[in-house]
Structure 1
Amino acid sequence: MINYKGYQNKKILVVGLAKSGVAASLLLHRLGAFVTVNDWKPLSENKDAQQLLDQGIKVICGSHPVELLDEGFEMIVKNPGIPYTNPLIKGAIAKGLPVITEVELAYQISEADIIGITGTNGKTTTTTLVHEMISKDQKKSYVAGNIGTVASEVAQIAHPGEAMVVELSSFQLMGIRQFAPAISIITNIYDAHLDYHASKQEYVEAKAAITKNQTENHYLIVNADQEELMDAVQHTRAKKVLFSTKRLMTEGISTDGEQIFMNGESVVRLKDIVLPGRHNLENIMAAIGAAKLYGVSNESIRAVLGEFAGVKHRTQFVREWNQIKFYNDSKATNILATQSALDAFKGPTVLLCGGLDRGNSFDELSASMSNVKAAVVFGETADKMAEAAKAGGVENIISVKDVKDAVHAAAESAESGDVVLLSPACASWDQYPTFEVRGDIFIDEVNKLK
């Protein structure tokens, strides 16, 4: 950890706790800042705030009073989940105060090599693959960010010559000022989080921000099959490394349908890759690019791809029961992710879907339901999901209360040889605090089947 002096004796407000807020507060306190923490949850119900209070950090809980801005803070560290429309955040920006997210702190103190990964879909799989490939090559690697440990915590223990592989959301990337990973990846861009972002353009710009501070000494690995994405990063100063699942290229990462090549060199045969699904080919190519740039051998890359079957909550095989295979894809929080999951299975499928209603329709999902023999719908979008399934030709549509009931309804509808797939196409927040909790409930209920 670099002993960063930039925060000594500075008044800094941390808005919003959870893991990233707690980590940022403790780090800033350690770096000599005068830290005030503000969280909406009352102190009596707020274990995180109580922990910080015990450390001598000032805590204000129960609301986000705009009057806090009168106390002369020099910077705001915002929890990524708090929107920029929050009155306190809007007021800070109006005053010209820097508003950053915790990953900026991680960058400022890190001595390790940072590999940053973003995109609408595939971030977690790609992040995990890069980490596994580096680790297989006998190099020290840490997973950080949206998966694993908070980035600013990892940055305090990672050493020079080690890698921090950081999954980054658009929410986090909107709050960077100097953050510049040695290697960055943008897997893809689709409509998502438009309830948070003011527009699709703002969302795309937030994703492209991963490369805005990169220099000629850095690399950007980017999906060449998406014109919108290529336009968004056209002004990067980083060396661009393109990947394509649709055409064979002499430079970058691509495939002839039998092998994956990087700069004309064969890296791995497709038949030796365990991870299923066409959508995962993008993730695999991006991961290969980062691993090769980091000096990982083809042997280590092949070894990982020959055994890596997926990450938890992303098309995760859970169990076979009565010759029915159950898969947990709870991390599919948008339509495209669920379409990709459905495309990965060619046989009869019982789809479990539904969740937070963000106001969008699910018409696009209908065309991907040709193999869906039954749809079990739940949550705020249950009726919309039922309409999409009906439009897709699904005749057996079952409405249930939640994921727990959905498992049992699916088990009754499925037959030998079928797949039961939890792939909600929605965020979990109408019923569950995170998609992980939703997925874990699915796993528990599947494992209880007798």
Structure 2
Amino acid sequence: MAEKVVILGAGESGVGSAILAQKQGLRVFVSDLGKIKDKYKKILQQYRIAFEEGKHSEDEILKADLVIKSPGIPEKAPLVKKLREMKVPVISEIEFAGRYNNAKTICITGSNGKTTTTLLTYHLLKEAGLSVGLAGNVGSSFAWQVAEKDFDYYVIELSSFQLDDMYQFKADVAVLLNITPDHLDRYEYKMQNYVDSKFRVIQNQTPDDFFIYCADDPVIREELKKRHIPATCLPFGWTEAPENGAGVKGDNIIINWKQNTFTMSIFDIALQGRHNTYNSMAAGLAGMVLKIRNEKIRESLADFKGVEHRLERFLKVHGIEFINDSKATNVNSTWYALECINKPIVWIAGGVDKGNDYNDLKDLVGKKVKAIICLGVDNHKIREAFSGIVPDIIETQDMKDAVRSAYYLAKDGEVVLLSPACASFDLFENYEDRGRQFKTAVREL
């Protein structure tokens, strides 16, 4: 009898896993506690895959030989606890797809910048003419592509939640951009647990694999002292480039790999700002080890068109610039946004707090922010952190109200910045929904 696979969550990753499992001759059952989106329901029906929505039938689920769970379901969910007690293997979509994948994988993680770096790396490989898929937190489901496509490479963005349920999977090229406190609510508020999660990106690597990491990140530096890394290590940072790795000299980024040196002015890179220079070095290094020609790397770094909802300079209304940085769901992302704007800012912030410490922002906020518009169900932590630093702090409960309030407070030559530093789930479906509502509200001014 074929193995029984239960998939918890019927979003992009769950439905992709179901298709791959069915293709492998496994018995599949999909269960979603919420309502399944119509487009996914149609696909499950089309493939004749058994599913349920609005509930989890425990008697059915606990009979599974293998459970693939959505990264959004926390470890402390009662059903997950029961499965663990019964020693039923619970894995992620990426782990499952990895079992059937023969393509090379470039896996990118970090607290900030991973979507930008993933899309940039994908752009670079695609422009170089490689057969490449985009998966993980962006693009289509990895499992779905493994089931139905035949790529030679995958560029995969990995969140810590996905990494937590990965065991045998191996990245051929692992990229670790930075580690700053994020999602600590999922890690018992212990930073080391979160650090360990991020470092899972290099598990199972061999001397034939590559580990690209930011040498300027203090948490990564400390962690490397404790670990033996079998892969070839390629650091990048804001210092002179090592023999194998990347760095900055004057106004140029330099990337060295096996006697090949790549040089490019930081002013010619499409993505401006210090954090984006890091992202570009990481993507460039990945390109170098995959033997992409220097000219192609240069072209791709120069013509890449950023990421929607990430420091997206969206529109000017009566001289006021509106910037959509809805993707900034933690303090560190917002720090980057505030740091790279050199005009007075009306800052729209708030949402679901993930254990945020706003102390790191106080200095920048004091220098640059003239007013804060709180946009969340509970804004007391933002008010507490910045009252006395910013003269105007205004409470709002919906995007239209927030945008209108910001517009009245901003003047010609100033910036309205949506950079929430929080998750979006109190008032919005996700950060994309929040960003789209922001853009709609700005258009209606």
TM-score by length of 2: 0.92
Segments of 5+ residues of structure 1 without an aligned counterpart are: 1-7
How many Å apart are 1:37 and its aligned residue?
A: 2.0
Q: Which amino acid aligns with 1:261?
A: I
Segments of 5+ residues of structure 2 without an aligned counterpart are: none
1:410 to 394, 398, 406: 406
1:117 and 1:127 in contact (8 A); partners too: yes
Residue 366 (structure 2) pairs with residue 373 (structure 1) = no
Residue 105 (structure 2) pairs with residue 114 (structure 1) = yes
2:425 to 419, 422, 429: 429
Residue 244 (structure 2) pairs with residue 263 (structure 1) = no
Q: Which amino acid aligns with 1:179?
A: F
Q: Which amino acid aligns with 2:10?
A: L
2:19 and 2:147 in contact (8 A); partners too: no
Q: Which amino acid aligns with 1:130?
A: T
* Residues 142-177 of structure 1: CA deviation (Å, up to 9, x unaligned): 2211111111122234435x3211111111111112
1:341 to 337, 343, 346: 337
Pair 32,272 (structure 1): closer, same or farther in 2 beyond 3 Å: same
Tell me the residue number matched to 2:34: 41
How many pairs does the alignment contain?
438
> Helix, strand or coil for the counterpart of 2:254?
strand
Residue 144 (structure 2) pairs with residue 153 (structure 1) = yes
Pair 350,308 (structure 1): closer, same or farther in 2 beyond 3 Å: farther
Residue 292 (structure 2) pairs with residue 296 (structure 1) = yes
Tell me the residue number matched to 2:381: 384
Whole-angstrom distance in 2 between the partners of 1:380 and 1:245: 40
> Helix, strand or coil for the counterpart of 2:364?
coil
Matches within 5 A, 1:25-104: 25-41=18-34, 48=40, 52=44, 55-68=47-60, 70-71=62-63, 73-104=64-95
Matches within 5 A, 1:246-285: 246=239, 248-263=241-256, 265-285=261-281
My pick for the range that moved more, 265-274 or 185-194, is: 265-274
Q: Which amino acid aligns with 2:336?
A: S
1:327 and 1:422 in contact (8 A); partners too: yes
How many Å apart are 1:361 and its aligned residue?
A: 4.5
Tell me the residue number matched to 1:183: 173
Q: Which amino acid aligns with 1:39?
A: D
TM-score by length of 1: 0.91
1:305 to 287, 301, 305: 301
How many Å apart are 1:84 and its aligned residue?
A: 1.2
Q: Which amino acid aligns with 1:225?
A: D
Q: Which amino acid aligns with 2:18?
A: S
Pair 143,201 (structure 1): closer, same or farther in 2 beyond 3 Å: same
My pick for the range that moved more, 139-148 or 330-339, is: 139-148
> Helix, strand or coil for the counterpart of 1:376?
strand
Pair 134,358 (structure 1): closer, same or farther in 2 beyond 3 Å: closer
Whole-angstrom distance in 2 between the partners of 1:35 and 1:231: 43
1:69 and 1:91 in contact (8 A); partners too: no
How many Å apart are 1:290 and its aligned residue?
A: 0.7
Whole-angstrom distance in 2 between the partners of 1:334 and 1:292: 31
Residue 160 (structure 2) pairs with residue 164 (structure 1) = no
Pair 135,69 (structure 1): closer, same or farther in 2 beyond 3 Å: closer
2:182 and 2:354 in contact (8 A); partners too: no
Whole-angstrom distance in 1 between the partners of 2:427 and 2:287: 38
Matches within 5 A, 1:167-246: 167-198=157-188, 199-232=190-223, 234-246=227-239
Pair 202,33 (structure 1): closer, same or farther in 2 beyond 3 Å: same
Pair 410,246 (structure 1): closer, same or farther in 2 beyond 3 Å: farther
Q: Which amino acid aligns with 1:448?
A: E
My pick for the range that moved more, 114-123 or 352-361, is: 352-361
Whole-angstrom distance in 2 between the partners of 1:249 and 1:302: 20
> Helix, strand or coil for the counterpart of 2:303?
coil
Whole-angstrom distance in 1 between the partners of 2:432 and 2:85: 36
Q: Which amino acid aligns with 1:252?
A: G
Pair 120,26 (structure 1): closer, same or farther in 2 beyond 3 Å: same
Q: Which amino acid aligns with 1:184?
A: A
> Helix, strand or coil for the counterpart of 2:96?
helix
How many Å apart are 1:238 and its aligned residue?
A: 1.3
**Identical residues among aligned pairs (%):** 35
RMSD of aligned residue pairs (Cα, Å):
2.2
Whole-angstrom distance in 2 between the partners of 1:356 and 1:154: 33
Tell me the residue number matched to 2:434: 438
How many Å apart are 1:22 and its aligned residue?
A: 1.3
> Helix, strand or coil for the counterpart of 1:105?
helix
Whole-angstrom distance in 2 between the partners of 1:61 and 1:309: 38
1:66 and 1:87 in contact (8 A); partners too: no
* Residues 168-220 of structure 1: CA deviation (Å, up to 9, x unaligned): 11111111122112111011001111111233222111111111011111111
How many Å apart are 1:69 and its aligned residue?
A: 5.3
How many Å apart are 1:273 and its aligned residue?
A: 1.8
1:22 and 1:48 in contact (8 A); partners too: yes
2:331 and 2:356 in contact (8 A); partners too: no
Whole-angstrom distance in 2 between the partners of 1:267 and 1:256: 10
> Helix, strand or coil for the counterpart of 2:147?
coil
How many Å apart are 1:248 and its aligned residue?
A: 4.5
1:248 and 1:254 in contact (8 A); partners too: yes
1:215 and 1:237 in contact (8 A); partners too: yes
2:323 and 2:416 in contact (8 A); partners too: yes
